[in-house]
Amino acid sequence: MFTGIVTDVGEIVSLTPTAQGQLHRMRIACRYDRATIADGASIACNGVCLTVVASGVAGDKTWFDVDAAAETLSLTTARHWSVGTRLNLERALKIGDELGGHIVAGHADGIATIIRRDDLPDMARFELSTTRELARFIAPKGSVTLDGVSLTVNTVDDVAFSVLIIPHTLNVTTLSDWRQGSTVNIEVDLMARYAARLSEMK
């Protein structure tokens, strides 16, 4: 489990697809202490929970390897990642950690598309659209995870919704790179999903 509070921005330094294109092994450089990364650890990469299969140090950077399987490649933006892609990173939640965002599973539900960006004096406003299936779980003042970042929904209009991003978040994540047409991983709030399921069963 995660909280949607990004703790580092990593960069893909190598990517090796299998001959069948069913699995991509990626090496991601980061600033985490190598001693704290164990094989089998979970790290959310742009909101996608991936398992560390190897790690080490090269120069002044730690690196870790992860495998993205076929389902991950088909459902998320991972299929578009390449060498040089920057990723929002978050380590798995530990008992006693501060819950600064909201409960995030790291299981991206799909993709949202940036349809508008407005740069305001003190923040940036992004309007996004997603599928009707996912839009039904998004509500004003509710939570949503976009590329691994826990955000509060500002407005909702059918399948479109907006979020406001403060300067700190723009500075410490990859959200500053978002432009009209950018695609991002989306995970809807678990509480909204369960509430909808309970409602359907009445």
Report d(CA 128, CA 131) in Å as an integer. Answer: 11
How confident is residue 115, by pLDDT bands cut at 50, 70 and 90?
very high
pLDDT at res. 33: 96
Contact in structure between 76 and 48 (CB atoms under 8 Å): yes
* Arithmetic mean of pLDDT, 114-136: 95
* Arithmetic mean of pLDDT, 162-183: 96
**Both tokens assigned to 150:** 């826990």
Q: Mean pLDDT score of the chain, rounded to an integer?
A: 92
Percent of the chain with pLDDT over 70: 93
From 111, 127, 62, 124, select the one nearest 89 (Cα to Cα): 62
| pLDDT(103) > 90 | no
pTM of the model: 0.92
**Both tokens assigned to 120:** 């305001």
**Both tokens assigned to 162:** 């907006």
Fold of 8-91: Elongation Factor Tu (Ef-tu); domain 3 (2.40.30)
Percent of the chain with pLDDT over 90: 79
**Per-domain residue ranges of the chain:** 8-91, 110-200
Report d(CA 195, CA 130) in Å as an integer. Answer: 20
- The class that CATH gives domain 110-200 is mainly beta
Q: Using one digit for the tens of pLDDT, what is the confidence trace for 129-146?
A: 999 999 999 999 999 999
Asked if domains 8-91 and 110-200 share a fold, the reply is yes
* Arithmetic mean of pLDDT, 20-24: 75
| pLDDT(26) > 70 | yes
Q: How many CB atoms lie within 10 A of CB 184?
A: 24
